[in-house]
């Protein structure tokens, strides 16, 4: 059946959001890989980084299901959580909502006009939580790119924000070969579930960040990537536990709270329009 959608973005990371809580007893929304790829195509389809379905949940206000542009289903998406949180709060005239995902339970609250904060919970820091294929200290894992005796990029941090991230610490994020290295590392055997690849340049209380997203490629912003990069930098004493994350699409505020170890991400969202999936 045809499904109405809302097209939204968080810092340019764009989504098609579908209401899939089975209105009027309609069947579950389960698109095929080929359908997702066709809709995601920016030349011949709608064009988006992720497809989002809002589903019913037994323990939260809604469940958010996420497909990347390549058709693969993934655990979560930080920028999409802000968009879905805003939709739910608008629909219920509320100040806060809970959203469940395959990556865990999160909470959204209003932080201003089309500005939303997401409590992402605690980061996963053990090698088995990323997951990695073997035990390592995730503050700096055994991974390098380039000549063995003089690697260009090496010893990145690894963090799970409900989905897997590896973060390289670089002197100039704008000059980093994100496409080349990101596509190389995304399916590295060290990461049995694949991995999102970040390139973080600490600048005091700011961090310049670019991210190659697993299954989506280079996007203008990655919310979970911003959270992972802040945690990875803080663990190496390269940045404070609260920083402004400077992404291609704009800025996010991220804090790794000492009080409860939760990561809080705050940023804007935009509504681009509506349409119908057929």
Query: Rounded CA gap, 243 and 121, in Å?
Result: 17
Q: Which two tokens stand for residue 87?
A: 């939709």
Of all helices (H) and strands (E), which one includes residue 248?
Answer: none
Query: Rounded CA gap, 223 and 241, in Å?
Result: 16
How far CA 166 is from CA of 17, 41, 116, 223, 225, in Å, comes to 27, 27, 25, 14, 9
Strands 153-154 and 270-277, bridge-based pairing? unpaired
Known active-site residue 77: yes
Query: Rounded CA gap, 129 and 138, in Å?
Result: 10
Strands 62-68 and 96-101, bridge-based pairing? parallel
Residues 6+ apart with CB under 8 A from 177: none
Q: Which of 77, 83, 227, 233 is catalytic?
A: 77
Query: Rounded CA gap, 246 and 203, in Å?
Result: 10
Q: Which of 83, 222, 227, 233 is catalytic?
A: 222
Just list the catalytic residues: 77, 222
């Amino acid at each position: 059946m045809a499904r109405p959608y809302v097209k939204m973005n968080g810092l340019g990371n764009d989504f098609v959001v579908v209401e899939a809580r089975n209105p009027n007893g309609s069947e579950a929304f389960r698109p095929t890989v080929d359908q997702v790829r066709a809709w995601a195509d920016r030349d011949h389809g709608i064009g988006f980084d992720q497809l989002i379905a809002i589903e019913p949940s037994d323990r939260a206000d809604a469940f958010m299901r996420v497909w990347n542009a390549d058709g693969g289903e993934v655990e979560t998406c930080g920028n999409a959580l802000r968009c879905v949180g805003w939709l739910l709060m608008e629909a219920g005239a509320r100040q806060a909502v809970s959203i469940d995902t395959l990556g865990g339970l999160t909470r959204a609250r209003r932080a201003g006009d089309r500005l939303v904060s997401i409590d992402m919970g605690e980061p996963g820091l053990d090698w088995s939580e990323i997951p990695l294929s073997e035990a390592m200290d995730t503050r700096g894992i055994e991974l390098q790119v380039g000549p063995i005796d003089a690697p260009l990029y090496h010893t990145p941090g690894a963090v799970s924000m409900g989905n897997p991230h590896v973060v390289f610490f670089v002197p100039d994020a704008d000059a980093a070969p994100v496409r080349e290295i990101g596509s190389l590392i995304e399916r590295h055997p060290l990461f049995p579930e694949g991995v999102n690849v970040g390139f973080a340049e600490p600048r005091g209380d700011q961090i310049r960040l670019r991210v190659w997203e697993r299954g989506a490629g280079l996007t203008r912003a990655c919310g979970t990537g911003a959270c992972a990069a802040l945690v990875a930098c803080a663990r190496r004493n390269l940045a404070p536990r609260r920083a402004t994350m400077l992404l291609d699409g704009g800025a996010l505020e991220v804090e790794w709270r000492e009080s409860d170890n939760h990561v809080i991400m705050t940023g804007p969202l935009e509504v681009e329009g509506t349409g119908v999936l057929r």
